[in-house]
Homo-oligomer: A and B are copies of this chain.
Amino acid sequence: MTRILSGRLIALPAPPDGGRIDSGWLYRQLRAAILAGQLAPGSRLPSTRAFAREHATSRAVAEAAYARLESEGLVRRRHGSGSHVADALPVRVRVGRRQRPPPGELIGARARAWLAEPGCVEPDRLMPFNAGQPDPQEFPWATWERCWLAGNREARLMATHATDPRGVPELRAAIADHLIRFRGLNCGAERVVVFNSSQTALLVIALLLVAPGQCVAMEDPGYPGARAAFAIAGADVRPVAVDQSGLRVQDLDQDGNDVRLVYVTPSHQYPTGVALDEARRKALLEWGERDGRWIVEDDYDGDFRYSGASMLAMQGRTRHQRTLYVGTFSKAMFPSLRLAYAVLPEPLIAPATMLRAQIDGFSPAGNQLAMARFMADGAFDAHLRRTREAYRRRRVLLRAALQPIVSLGWALGPADAGLHQTVVEPIPGAARQAVALAPRHDLALARVGQYAHGAWNGPDALFLRYGALRDEQIVDGAARLCRMLAKRAP
C-alpha cells in the first residue's frame, strides 16, 4: 500500500483478488478517502497521467473515476489547474426512514406516530435518478451575490429587526406579480404570506383549518410532506385515488367521508406527473363551494412547464376564496434558500400569520430582501427562462435515452412539466424489482407506489428525478437502467 501524499500519490489498498484496478473500484476507494478526510478538502489530486503511471493502470480508468467524483461534487477539475478535492463536501442527510426508531420510553405515542411518517428523505448523493433538485450549475451566483448585498445594504433596519411575519413587503409584491403573470393567480401582495418552506405553509394551514380527527383528503399516491403536516395537525387523512385525469374528485365523498380539506397538486401531480383535467378541475372547484370546505393547491413545480398551453393555477379561476395556493422557490431557485409562499383567502391572512409567528417567527429578512431584489431586477425571470429550457432539454435527452425500454413495454409518463419523469411498468412488480436491483447498477431508483398511503396495488411506475443531473449522467444512467431492465425482461 502506497502512502497518502497529496498531489503526487494516493494510498490505495490492493485491488480485489490481486487483480487490475477498475474505475468503479478506484472511484469507491477515492470517495471513501475523501469522505473520511484522508484526502483533505481542497487538496490536489495527482493528474490522471501520473496516477496511471504510479498504479500501473490506464489513464482511462483514472479518468472515469475522477469524472464520476466530479459529477458528485466531491472533486473539482479545471483545465490547466488540475484536479482537487472539493473545498466543501455535500452534506449527507441521514434522517428519515433509515434512522433507527426513537426510544419508546422517551417519546409519546403521538410523536412516535408522526415519526413513522416517511417524510422527505434527502439523498446522500445525487445520482441517476434521485436528483429532483435544480442544478446549481445553472444558477447565476454572481447576480445573486450582488442582489444579496444590495438588498441587505439598502434595508439594513429591516434586515436587522424583527420583520413582518407575513414577509418583507417588496417580496410579497414581487411574488404576487410573478404569480399573476405566470400562473394566473387571483391575488394581490396583501394575500401573500412568505414561509420558510411549503412544508411550514402546509403545517400552518393544517393546524389552522383542521381540528383533530377531521377528514383531510389527499392524492394517493401523494406527497409525503403534506401527509406529515396533516398528521401533526391530528387530521384523519383519507387517500383518494389518482388516475390518468388526476385526483378522482368523484371519490372525495366516498364512504360518507366528511372531508373538510383536499390537498391536490393539479398542474403536475406528485408523483405520477399527470395533470388534473378540465372536467375534474370544474368538479373540484364546485366541491369546494360548500361552506367549511377548503382546497389546498400545491403548485410545487409550477414554474417548469415545457409544452402545451401553460396550465394555470386553479386558484385563479375562482373568487369564492376557498382555494389556498402554496408555492416554493426551492425548484425555481435552490432548496437551501428556504423561501416559499402561500396565497391565502383574506380572512385567513391574520390568523395564519399569527400561528406562523408562534411556530417560527418570520423568515430571515436578508434572504427575503435579496430575493425581492433578484425578482425586481428581472434576474428571476431570466433565470426561469434559461432553466426552463435547460430542464426541457434534459427531459428530451432522458426520454430519448429511455427508448430501449419502451420497446420492452415500459411506457413514458407525461412529458410536459417538472424535474422528474415517470415510466410505467409493463407488468405488475416490474418497477418494484427494478428498485431492488438498482443499487447493484449504481442507480438510485424510486417508484410511484412508494408514495402510496398504504400497500400499492395499482399500476406502478419508476419515478426518475433528473433536475440536477448533467447530460452525461442522464445518458449514462439511462443506459445502465435500460441494460438492467433488458436483462430482467421476461
Contact = CB atoms under 8 A, between A and B. Distances in A.
Interface in A200-216: 200, 203, 207-212, 214
Interface stretch (A263-271, A343-351, A436-444, A472-480): A343-351
A63 interface: no
A102 B351 contact: yes
The number of times this chain is found in the oligomer is 2
A394 to B, nearest CB: 17
A92 B168 CA distance: 10
Interface in A140-199: 141, 145, 148-149, 152-166, 168-169, 196-197, 199
Contacts of A133: 160-162
A351 B91 contact: no
A358 interface: yes
A35 to B, nearest CB: 12
Contact of A93 (B111, B136, B165): B165
Contact of A361 (B169, B338, B347): B338
B354 A99 contact: yes
A108 B209 CA distance: 6
A346 to B, nearest CB: 10
A110 B209 CA distance: 9
Residue picked from A94, A291, A359, most chain B C-beta under 10 Å: A359
Nearest to A111: B208
Interface stretch (A2-10, A81-89, A240-248): A81-89
A366 B334 CA distance: 11
Given A90-B161, A91-B169, 20 more contacts: A90-B157, A93-B162, A96-B354, A105-B291, A105-B292, A106-B351, A108-B210, A136-B156, A136-B157, A148-B148, A158-B336, A196-B360, A199-B361, A200-B360, A200-B361, A207-B232, A232-B358, A338-B360, A338-B361, A338-B362
Interface of A: 73, 86-96, 99-100, 102-103, 105-111, 114-115, 117, 119-120, 122, 126, 133, 136, 139, 141, 145, 148-149, 152-166, 168-169, 196-197, 199-200, 203, 207-212, 214, 225, 228-229, 232, 291-292, 334-338, 347-348, 350-351, 353-355, 357-367, 468
Give the 4 A-B residue pairs with the shortest CB-CB distance, closest first: A88-B155, A102-B351, A108-B211, A336-B365
